[in-house]
Amino acid sequence: MAFSSSLAFPFPSPPSGTFQTRSAGRLRTGATERFLERSSPPPDVVVTRERGKNAKLIAALEKHNIQSLELPLIKHVDGPDTDRLPEVLSNDKFDWIAITSPEAAAVFLRGWKAAGSPKVRVAVVGAGTARVFDEVSQSDDQSLEVAFSPSKAMGKVLASELPRVSESTCKVLYPASAKASREIQEGLSDRGFHVTRLNTYTTVPVEDIEPLTLKLAISAPVVAVASPSALKAWLKLVSKVDCWNNYIACIGETTGSAAKKLGLKSIYYPTTPGLEGWVESVLEALRVHRQLKEGPNVEHG
C-alpha cells in the first residue's frame, strides 16, 4: 500500500498542459517538436532514471495504459575511489561486500574483474541489485557468491541484519555513491564490523534538457523518482517555472522520506521498494489526481 503525505509545497497548481507526447521510450533529445505536432495523449507520468534504465517501468505502466515521458534527470560518473577498487580487492580480503544499488553493483563488477575476479561474498539490497550479479553468480566459476539480502530492501536493515561469519572482526567492503549517507557504515561499525568504504561513483544532474521537453514534463500529473538525487534535480528544474504542485511517486521509503524533508506535498511510495510497488504508487497517485479532476463541483452559498 503506497503512502501519501500532506506536506505543503510552495507552488500553486499548474496550468493545463498543452503539450503532447507518446511513450517515453520513443522520445529523445531533438525530437520533441516532432512529437508536439502529433495527436497523441499527453504524458501521465514522467520517468526520471538515467538513460537506459527506464524501460522496465515504462513497459509495466503501459500494461495499465499509462503514457510515460522519459526525462533522465541524473547520470552516473566515476567517483574519487573508482580506480582504487581493483587494488583494494587484490590486496585485501573481506568477509562481505555490501552492495546497495544496481549502479553500485555494475561498478563493483568492473573493478572485481579488473582485480582478477577474486573470491567474494556479496550482500545485496533489493532484487534489482541482485539481478546485476545473476550472470556471474550462476556461472561455473563460483568466485562471486550472492549470499545475503535483508528482510527489507533498505540499507539500514542490511546494517542491522548482516550476519557475522567469524568470531573475530568481520571486514566489510562498502562500494558506494559519494552521495550516500553514512547510515550503513555507521550501523555496521556499531555492531563491531570493520567497514572500508570506497566512493566508487557519484551522480550529477543532466543539464541539456530542451525547454519544450521540460514543459511536457511539467504538464504530467505524476513524476516518478528513484533516488534523492533525482528528486533534487527535479526540484531544481521546476524552480525555474512559475508553478508546479503535482504528485511524486517514489521507488521506496528512502526517496519518499527525502521528499518529505524537502517539503513536497503529495508523495506516494511502497512499503517494500521495487518495481511492482513503484508502479502501484504511480497508479495510486493517478487515481487521486483523476478523482480530484473529475469530482463533482460543489456550490457553496
Choosing from 182, 203, 224, the residue where a domain stops is: 203
Rounded percentage of the chain residues whose pLDDT exceeds 70: 83
Give the model's pLDDT for residue 94: 97
Q: How far apart are CA 270 and CA 283, in angstroms?
A: 11
Contact (Cβ atoms closer than 8 angstroms) between residue 71 and residue 213: yes
pTM of the predicted protein model: 0.74
Residue partners of 83: CB distance under 8 A and separation at least 6: none
Given pLDDT bands bounded at 50, 70 and 90, which one contains residue 165? confident
Average pLDDT for 90-108? 96
Domain membership flag for residue 85: yes
Contact (Cβ atoms closer than 8 angstroms) between residue 22 and residue 38: yes
Choosing from 152, 173, 203, the residue where a domain stops is: 203
| 292: Cα within 13 Å, side-chain hemisphere | 11
Whether residue 194 sits in one domain with residue 239: no
Whether residue 252 sits in one domain with residue 138: no
Whether residue 68 sits in one domain with residue 212: yes
The number of domains in the chain is 2
Given pLDDT bands bounded at 50, 70 and 90, which one contains residue 272? confident
Contact (Cβ atoms closer than 8 angstroms) between residue 89 and residue 97: no
Residue 220 belongs to domain spanning: 3-73+206-294
Whether residue 199 sits in one domain with residue 81: yes
Domain membership flag for residue 300: no
Domain membership flag for residue 239: yes
In the block, cell 529523445 appears at: 28
Whether residue 192 sits in one domain with residue 97: yes
Whether residue 264 sits in one domain with residue 146: no
Whether residue 86 sits in one domain with residue 63: no
Domain membership flag for residue 113: yes
Q: State the Rg of the chain over Cα.
A: 21
Give the model's pLDDT for residue 42: 83
Whether residue 253 sits in one domain with residue 164: no
Per the model's pLDDT, the better-predicted residue between 138 and 75 turns out to be: 75
All three cell numbers of 80? 574519487
In the block, cell 568470531 appears at: 167
Whether residue 147 sits in one domain with residue 112: yes
pLDDT tens for each residue of 101-141: 999 999 999 999 999 999 999 999 988 899 999 988 777 67
Choosing from 203, 225, 240, the residue where a domain stops is: 203
Give the model's pLDDT for residue 54: 95
Residue 36 has pLDDT above 80, yes or no: no
Compute φ and ψ for 116, nearest 5 degrees: 95, 20
Domain membership flag for residue 301: no
| CATH number of 105's domain | 3.40.50.10090
